[in-house]
Structure 1
Amino acid sequence: MDTKHQEDLLHIRSMMERSSRFISLSGLSGVGAGVSALVGGLYVYFRLQQLGADYLATNSRVYQSSLLSEFIVVAILVLLFAMSFGMFFTIRKSNKNNLPIWTSTTKNMLFNLALPLVVGGVFCVALLTHQLFVFVAPVTLIFYGLALVNAEKYTFSDIKYLGFLEIILGLISLFVLGKGLIFWIIGFGVLHIVYGIIMFKKYK
């Protein structure tokens, strides 16, 4: 009888978790996003090297306006690839587990995720407008981290730890201005890949 009650409680708990949290988020989405960011960041690094700018040199401070459009395109492509990976693996996991995707929980998660991202995006546009390029990488890391922490209550709680790490990286990079690309590669590339692998193994 006790065993039956325990099974019933576990079943009820599982149903409540499914209804209150978006659990179709796949760890492979994080891996895909991380690989996309890694490729994009390395492209920018080697592009600067090609132009004769040693980015890793302590005295390297190269921010050419002529390169701005090219790097913005790279950033947009990275975002599109990351979103595509996220949608593909999330839909695949939902279908595999027979879970609905577009629910009130999904809407709440996306709203809580989007709010800091939109505010951060507008902030970055202002920085670009005033040619304060050196602050763009730290700001994107900080607001992205805030978005993850804000969305944590509607999906896996583990996501907040990634958010905290992104925020910490962004804050540190504010004191190492001119090296934002390195922090960007670590935050959006390496951390995403590590986080994605851990999540995939934990919730596969």
Structure 2
Amino acid sequence: MKQEKDYSRDLAEIRSMMERSSKFLSLSGWAGIMAGIYALVGAYIAYAVFGFNPDHSSDLPLTGTGISATLLNVILLAVFILAMAVGTAIFLSSKKAEKRGEKLWNATARRVLINMAVPLAVGGILVLIMISKGLIGFVAPFTLLFYGLALYNASKFTYGEMRSLGLIEIGLGLLGSYFVGYGLLLWAIGFGVVHIIYGIYMHYKYER
């Protein structure tokens, strides 16, 4: 009986070692929660302070650069939110990796980044093209779409829950592409509410 327990413990340890070597498990649930909060605050500022409405974005007056002041403010706000979210994710994930006695930047982390890079890069370029063509209403849903594709693509190298998160983001992106006037709202739901729920779930499941 004792020998069977020893075998079970050894198998569990081997399985854990293999999982750590093949999957990136340093993602922090709190990083998702904070990213969601940043997104909700950003969406509120874009709508209430800058008066941005994707449904009427084509009516915004242009500046000498060919971009409206409102849109320029929203773009700068989005870049700031992205920087805050990425910075927070790196900081909190590094703390988690340190607590687990692991390095944040390792082979599995590189695989995750590489698999996310192509969809994100293509999506970023496409968003810039749409902005240049004045198709502002599709910017928010397309960021959701390509972000979801990046998550789905990288999910095989990290927690399986990321696949579900990616599919939800893709679904919201498709909805936003059809209901263009609700693009900002769906963006807030996808990057804000869904991230917060995902972060809370991951924290209670893996970090407590």
TM-score between both structures, scaled by the size of structure 2: 0.91
Superposed, 1:45-56 pairs within 5 Å as: 45-49=47-51
Corresponding residue of 2:17: 15
User: What CA distance in whole angstroms lies between the structure 2 residues aligned with 1:75 and 1:81?
Assistant: 10
RMSD: 1.4
**What are the residue-to-residue correspondences of 1:156-195 with 2, within 5 Å?**
156-195=159-198
CA–CA separation in structure 2 for the residues paired with 1:48 and 1:68: 9
The residue number in structure 1 matching 2:204 is 201
> Any stretches of 5+ residues in structure 2 without a counterpart?
61-67
What secondary structure, in the 3-state scheme, does the structure 2 residue paired with 1:178 have? Answer: helix
2:116 to 113, 123, 128: 113
Structure 1 residue aligned with 2:155: 152
- Deviation (angstroms), 1:22: 0.4
Report the identity percentage. Answer: 43
Amino acid at match of 1:186: I
1:87 aligns with 2:90: yes
Of 45, 52, 56, the residue aligned with 1:61 is 56
Q: Deviation string for 1:29-48 (max 9, x for gaps)? A: 10111111111111011124
Displacement after TM superposition at 1:88 (Å): 1.1
Q: Distance in 2 between matches of 1:15 and 1:48?
A: 50
Question: Mind listing any 5+ residue stretches in structure 1 that lack a counterpart?
Answer: none
* Residue 141 of structure 2, aligned match among 138, 141, 144: 138
Conserved 8 A contact 2:137-2:183: yes
Matched residue SS, 2:181: coil
Which amino acid counterpart does residue 28 of structure 1 have in structure 2? W
